[in-house]
């Protein structure tokens, strides 16, 4: 009997002493389990009651319950203390010193590509064009066949085009969007198709395997080459300045006939010749031409009733020229020193 009383007293003193030293709820719960749990010290002591006489069991049971109540009461007190201490720490951490100077907000900058794109879209939307987007993963039929690019054309070689399989490619131009719009048969068409394109190029100052193009299309009755030239002259003056002059040189593209490349007078030297234009006074800017009748036929448009023109310009090329950037890689390296300039 006295041994059990001494053991209960020892359990109580030890538990109280341990609780005075705890600083976390996890440590307090460990003490609760060690003393009051199913495999705790009090449970272990209760197993020994079978050897105690029947007349002493009630008194020992009462002593065990008193010890349990004392320990549970102390556990609740310590739990309350720990909760108050935690709340005080949280309040201290959340305290705001209103006398401190405010932190300067870091505001992001628009990317030069995005600035150039928004300006191009503004110009063409102002002329009544619609901005249309399409899939970057495209069928070979739309990327090549419907644009009058034959099966043996060099552009279809694997060293120039990324193939998913024999029928699906990463689009090499945004012209497939034009083919998809023409297939709808809704006339007239005045659209630009900006977007990312992919070609198997090595990365250098002027090339990248992933870049952006803006391609335009107009289809209506009685559209002529004069409409093409007038539209692109107005575009050049809007984006490079009102004194910009244009020059068209004969060229060849499978999906237009006749085709041309357009140069603009150097906006740095006014056409006199400088380092920027390599002394020529002119800078190549885009390709264009009248839509080939065969393209119309493959897209379900009667070439005897409708005519149209198309053009394509590299978005990066506009950004490089407009902001006098000499290396295309700067547009993709995310150097904050470069981007802050915009």
* Domains in the chain: ranges and CATH: 2-94 (no CATH), 112-339 (3.30.930.10)
d(C-alpha 61, C-alpha 69), whole Å: 12
- Summarize the chain as % helix, strand, coil (round to 5): 45, 20, 35
10-residue mean pLDDT profile of the chain (342 residues): values are 71 78 80 75 67 68 77 83 84 80 79 91 94 94 89 76 91 93 92 93 82 94 94 93 91 93 84 78 92 94 94 90 84 83 80
pLDDT for the residue numbered 123: 94
pLDDT for the residue numbered 306: 95
Q: Give which of 253, 216, 219 is closest to 234, Cα–Cα.
A: 216
Report the run of H or E that residue 170 belongs to, with start and end. Answer: strand 168-170
pLDDT for the residue numbered 121: 94
- Checking phi first, is residue 279 left (phi over 0); if not, alpha (psi -120 to 50) or beta? left
pLDDT for the residue numbered 53: 65
pLDDT for the residue numbered 176: 93
Task: State the DSSP string of 218-284.
Answer: EEETT--HHHHHHHHHHHHHHHH-TT--EEEEEEEETTEEEEEEEEEE-TTTTTS--TTTTTSSEEE
Q: Give which of 190, 32, 40 is closest to 123, Cα–Cα.
A: 190
**55: helix, coil or strand?**
coil
pLDDT for the residue numbered 48: 62
Q: Which residue has the tokens 């005080």?
A: 88
Q: Give which of 21, 44, 31 is closest to 71, Cα–Cα.
A: 31
């Amino acid at each position: 009997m006295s041994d059990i009383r001494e053991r209960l007293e020892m359990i109580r003193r030890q538990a109280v002493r341990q609780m005075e030293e705890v600083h976390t709820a996890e440590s307090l719960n460990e003490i609760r389990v060690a003393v009051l749990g199913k495999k705790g010290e009090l449970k272990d002591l209760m197993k020994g009651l079978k050897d105690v006489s029947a007349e002493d069991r009630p008194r020992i049971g009462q002593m065990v319950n008193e010890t349990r109540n004392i320990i549970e009461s102390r556990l609740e007190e310590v739990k309350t203390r720990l909760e108050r201490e935690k709340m005080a720490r949280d309040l201290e951490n959340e305290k705001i010193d209103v006398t401190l100077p405010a932190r300067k907000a870091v505001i992001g900058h628009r990317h030069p590509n995005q600035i150039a794109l928004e300006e191009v879209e503004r110009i063409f939307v102002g002329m009544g064009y619609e901005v249309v987007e399409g899939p970057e993963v495209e069928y070979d039929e739309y990327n090549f066949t419907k644009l009058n690019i034959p099966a043996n054309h060099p552009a279809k070689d694997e060293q120039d085009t990324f193939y998913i399989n024999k029928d699906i490619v990463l689009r090499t131009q945004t012209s497939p969007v034009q083919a998809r719009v023409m297939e709808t048969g809704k006339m007239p068409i005045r659209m630009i198709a900006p977007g990312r394109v992919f070609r198997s190029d090595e990365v250098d100052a002027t090339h990248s395997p992933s870049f952006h193009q803006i391609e335009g299309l107009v289809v209506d009755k009685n559209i002529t080459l004069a409409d093409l030239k007038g539209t692109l002259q107005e575009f050049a003056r809007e984006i490079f300045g009102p004194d910009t002059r244009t020059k068209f040189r004969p060229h060849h593209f499978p999906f237009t006939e006749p085709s041309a490349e357009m140069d603009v007078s150097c906006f740095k030297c006014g056409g006199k010749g400088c380092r920027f234009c390599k002394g020529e006074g002119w800078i190549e800017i885009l390709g264009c031409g009248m839509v080939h009748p065969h393209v119309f036929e493959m897209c379900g448009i009667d070439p005897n009733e409708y005519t149209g023109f198309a053009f394509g310009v590299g978005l990066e090329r506009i950004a490089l020229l407009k902001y006098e950037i000499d290396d295309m890689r700067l547009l993709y390296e995310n150097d904050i020193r470069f981007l802050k300039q915009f």
